[in-house]
Every structure is written in C-alpha cells, then in structure tokens.
C-alpha cells in the first residue's frame, strides 16, 4: 500500500460511506483510498442512527480497506485500529482527557466527539472490502437537543481548524495504524486500546431491554465483546446494551 492513498474531496454527498461503497461495487475502489465531504445530507451513524453535521465545519471521512491486504481475520481488528487512529488524532489537539468508548466512539470527558461506522462487503463467506466511516466534530459549536452530550475541538480548545487538512491527517493516521496489524501482535494493539478505554475499571450503568444494571468494565475481548463483572463475568456483544450516562 502506498504511504498516501488518494484523497477525494466532495462538496456535498448523501453519505461518504455510500459514495465509497458505490466505488467498491463499480470496481473503482483502491485499498487506502479516502472520500471526504464538506457536507452530508444523510450521514450514517451506528445502529441505523443519522449522523448530523453542519456544512464545512466537521470531518466526514470514509476510507476503503481491503481486509486481504491487512491479513485481517476478524472485523474487530479493523475497528480497533481505526479507533486507535481516531484517538491518536483527536487527543493530539484535545489532550489526554480523550478516550475510546466501546466499541469505537471518540469521547472527551463524558461527551461524544465522534464515531466510527464500518460497513463490509461480503461475498459468499469471503470478506472482500470494508468502508470505514469516521465522523468527528471539529468547528461546530451548536448541536440539536438530541445531541446535548456532543463536543467539538473548537469547544475544547477555543480554536478554529481546517477540516480538510485535519481529515488528511486522520486519513494518514488510519493508514499508519492499519499497517501495524502487519507488524505488531494484536495483543499489543488490544492493550493500547484498553489503556484508552472509557470507564475502564469503573462501575457503570448499562441498559438491556428495559432493565438497567450496574457492572464493572473489565476490558474488551480479542473479538470485540465488552468484558464486565457484577454478579458474574459477562461478555457483551455490540448492540446488546445501551450506556446510561
């Protein structure tokens, strides 16, 4: 993979993930290629939620990844290195109160600064492509009533930033971190991830169905389950619970 994958800049698109995935389906995508848009009309978040952003204020970036190039065996490996890359980037400007909220949101203190959505193309039993979408709040200072816990770099630092230049930096971080999958034991990367994990070794409230319970965050498994302990040790799958903050 080249040190710098190509970087496409769009003025407006429904979703950078949709644009990148269309490139994959049309056979036009290359491993490491990035798509940035100044505005998304239908940005996507985790679990079918919309990702809302003001025009020209934030990072909406999607990177095309070929699992074969990275010798990936499980989707969580990619999720983990993208979370680390996003953490590296955001903490450089926001400081050491940055953390990764399982599985791959970027938090500053108790406020959400960004999220990651990875969409996969699987044919038969083969994982052919992944489109890694990263949304990060950069200059936006006003969020809707349903996003009261959101935070941006400008709110944290008081400074304005160039979203395009920062997106290029984030893109390079993702390429660099993904290459570490080829040269570092995954155990080492998992340890880095857990050192940055939100509420690690802390009792938190989680909600499953209509039941709220308290549990101790113990870490994350090699395949991405949240490890907790209350009455017994548990392994929680993504989507199985909601955080009660």
**pLDDT tens digits, one per residue of 60-113:** 999 999 999 999 989 999 999 999 999 999 999 999 999 999 998 999 999 999
Question: Considering the entire predicted model, what is its pTM?
Answer: 0.94
CA geometry: angle at 46 spanning 42 and 51, to 5°? Answer: 30
CA geometry: angle at 115 spanning 165 and 196, to 5°? Answer: 95
Contact 66, 37 (CB under 8 A): no
Structure tokens at 138: 């950069």
Cα 41 to Cα 16, 82, 114, distances in angstroms: 10, 24, 17
Q: What is the mean pLDDT of residues 176-188?
A: 97
Rounded distance, CA 59 to CA 135, Å? Answer: 5
Residue 51 has pLDDT above 80, yes or no: no
Which of the residue ranges 34-48, 57-71, 122-136, 152-166 would you say has the lowest mean pLDDT?
34-48
Residue 55 has pLDDT above 50, yes or no: yes
pLDDT band, very low/low/confident/very high, at 143 (cuts 50, 70, 90): confident
Rounded distance, CA 114 to CA 123, Å? Answer: 30
Q: Where are the alpha helices (DSSP H) in 52-144?
A: 75-94
Element (H, E) at 157: helix 153-157
Q: What DSSP designation does 166 have? A: H
- 234-243 pLDDT, tens digit per residue, is 999 998 999 9
Using a CB cutoff of 8 Å and minimum separation of 24, what contacts does 237-244 make?
A: 238/103, 239/47, 240/208, 241/206, 241/207, 241/208, 242/206, 242/207, 242/208, 243/101, 243/204, 243/205, 243/206, 243/207, 244/204, 244/205, 244/206, 244/207, 244/212
Contact 69, 1 (CB under 8 A): yes
Mean pLDDT of the chain: 93
Element (H, E) at 130: strand 126-136
Structure tokens at 239: 């989507």
Element (H, E) at 186: helix 186-195
């Amino acid at each position: 993979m080249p040190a710098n994958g190509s970087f496409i800049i769009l003025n407006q698109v429904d979703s950078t993930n949709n644009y990148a995935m269309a490139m994959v389906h049309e056979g036009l995508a290359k491993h490491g290629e990035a798509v940035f848009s100044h505005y998304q009309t239908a940005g996507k978040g985790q679990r079918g939620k919309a990702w809302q952003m003001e025009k020209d204020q934030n990072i909406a970036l999607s990177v095309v990844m070929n699992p074969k190039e990275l010798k990936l065996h499980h989707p969580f490996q990619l999720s983990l290195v993208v979370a680390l890359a996003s953490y590296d980037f955001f903490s450089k400007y926001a400081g050491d109160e940055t953390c990764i909220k399982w599985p791959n949101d970027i938090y500053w203190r108790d406020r959400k600064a960004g999220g990651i959505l990875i969409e996969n193309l699987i044919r038969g039993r083969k994982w052919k492509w992944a489109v890694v979408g990263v949304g990060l709040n950069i200059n936006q200072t006003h969020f809707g009533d349903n996003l009261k816990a959101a935070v941006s770099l400008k709110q944290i630092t008081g400074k304005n930033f160039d979203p395009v230049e920062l997106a290029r930096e984030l893109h390079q971080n993702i390429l660099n971190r993904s290459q570490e999958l080829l040269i570092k034991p995954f155990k080492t990367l998992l340890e880095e991830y857990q050192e940055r994990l939100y509420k690690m070794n802390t009792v938190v409230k989680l909600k499953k169905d209509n039941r709220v319970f308290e549990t101790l965050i113990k870490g994350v498994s090699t395949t991405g389950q949240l490890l907790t302990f209350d009455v017994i040790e548990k392994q929680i799958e993504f989507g199985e619970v909601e955080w009660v903050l």
